[in-house]
Structure 1
Amino acid sequence: MMEEKKHPIVSLLLLLLILGTCTWVFVSIAKDFEAAHIRQFDYSIIQYVQGFISEPITNLVLKITFLGSSIGIAIITFVFSLILVLFRKYLFGIYLLMSVAVGYVGLNTVLKHIFQRERPSILRLVEEHGFSFPSGHSMGTMVLFGTLLLILFKLSKSASVRVIGVIAALSIILIIGLTRVYLGVHYPTDIVGGYTAGIVWLTISVVMFNQIEKRTQKQDKLLFVNNRY
């Protein structure tokens, strides 16, 4: 009994730790883009990453970075939502759509207009429009693949499937972030800002989803009992 009572407290402390840490990192970057330590961090990483520029790598990077674009995220979201609906996982399908729509499309747009950071004036391999912070690609992939990972953990109890899912999701998220620095369209701190903002939204959304899921399960049980008698 004591262990059962501790679980909600431990979960709450973990959620607060995640929210607090990510918010602190995000605010630390956003409060002064021109701070010496931020500029040093950004330009040292940009210099290192762009040191690998070559035509074959650039061609590959352009293909990979598409996954984190608005069109790429929309396609992936639609495909997985459709799969969930076809398997009658309606609540998960709706959750995926809403999580991406609110957390990526809505929140990222608002944050960009609040901070209005200009894009790097360095070597750009492609042209991008709009503000730089937080990165839409990094925030979008964090929200999308983070949500898919949460759904995977809900639907699968297999440890191996979960491990493969975590490795795949984190790899895609990190690689797409690097492609934005490689292409010269984002500062590394834009990427970090996108990741942290995405994690904050994921934390909030999963708490909301868990509450909705519990209510839905209770309603289903009541409906089953009423129909039975």
Structure 2
Amino acid sequence: MEIADDYKEAEIRHFDSVVIAAVQGHVSPFWTKVMVSITFLGSVRWIMILSIATALILLMFKHRILCLYVIVAVSLGGAFNWILKSIFHRQRPDIEPIIEEQGYSFPSGHSMGSFIFYGALAFILFKLYQNRWAKIAGVFLVSILVLSIGISRIYLGVHYPSDIVGGYTAGAAWTFICITGYSFLDYRLKKKLE
């Protein structure tokens, strides 16, 4: 909310212009191919495919609450992003974009959606695996991927850096709410079984 309220302020504009200049200073055919591929990993289509696959695998192994967690986190997280975009009505950057995108800019749906979904995968890893190094490696890889998706949106000229920060922040808040809900439900079900 703070970023959205202040996005016309000088500090936010300065932050955006400095980061855009740094990221887009390396535009080349090679990096454009890389960034288009990375940005696809945060697209609605790809995240929905992976979410359905993840939910089905969790259901197959009888992890019903984790399956419900993924479905609720991703689907309602997408609705939450749509609501935020419709509230703030921030237009996309007026620089020459490398790819075309429709809709409002703030908060970044790719950044928010990737934080929620890949964050859910990291949470599942923590719940199901005991190996500490596997958990650390999983969180590290997820963090790099989510960060790369955000950078790809700036590189491709379809988001301001503050849109990305807003997407990560909203995604983190929604992930916290979902994890809290999961923990409460898990606790109640375990209490019933005692």
TM-score (ref. length: structure 1): 0.83
Matching residue of 1:10: none
**Does the alignment pair 1:110 with 2:83?**
yes
Q: Identify which of 177, 182, 185 aligns with 2:158.
A: 185
- Give the AA of the match of 2:64: Y
CA contact (8 A) 2:65 2:182 kept: no
**Does the alignment pair 1:46 with 2:28?**
no
The CA distance in 2 between the partners of 1:162 and 1:111, in whole Å, is: 32
**Does the alignment pair 1:28 with 2:2?**
yes
The CA distance in 2 between the partners of 1:214 and 1:155, in whole Å, is: 16
**3-state DSSP class of the match of 2:33?**
helix
**TM superposition shift of 1:181:** 0.1
**TM superposition shift of 1:219:** 2.3
**TM superposition shift of 1:123:** 2.1
Calculate percent identity across the aligned residue pairs: 43
Matching residue of 2:111: 138
Matching residue of 1:152: 125
The CA distance in 1 between the partners of 2:53 and 2:84, in whole Å, is: 27
TM-score (ref. length: structure 2): 0.97
CA contact (8 A) 2:42 2:113 kept: yes
The CA distance in 2 between the partners of 1:86 and 1:141, in whole Å, is: 24
Matching residue of 1:18: none
Q: How does 1:38-77 map to 2 (within 5 A)?
A: 38-77=12-51
**3-state DSSP class of the match of 2:125?**
helix
Matching residue of 1:213: 186
* 1:62-108, Cα deviation, whole Å (9 max, x unpaired): 111111111011011111111111111111111101111112x1100
**TM superposition shift of 1:57:** 1.1
The CA distance in 2 between the partners of 1:83 and 1:67, in whole Å, is: 20
**Does the alignment pair 1:88 with 2:79?**
no
Q: How does 1:166-185 map to 2 (within 5 A)?
A: 166-185=139-158
The CA distance in 1 between the partners of 2:121 and 2:136, in whole Å, is: 13
Matching residue of 1:194: 167
Q: What is the CA RMSD across the aligned residues, in angstroms? A: 0.9
CA contact (8 A) 2:42 2:111 kept: yes
The CA distance in 1 between the partners of 2:97 and 2:136, in whole Å, is: 36
| Runs of at least 5 residues in structure 1 that lack an aligned partner in the other structure | 1-26, 222-229
The CA distance in 2 between the partners of 1:115 and 1:108, in whole Å, is: 11
* 1:180-208, Cα deviation, whole Å (9 max, x unpaired): 00000000000000000011111111111
**TM superposition shift of 1:125:** 0.1
Structure with bigger helix share is 1
**Does the alignment pair 1:123 with 2:96?**
yes
The structure whose Rg is larger is 1
Q: How does 1:216-227 map to 2 (within 5 A)?
A: 216-221=189-194
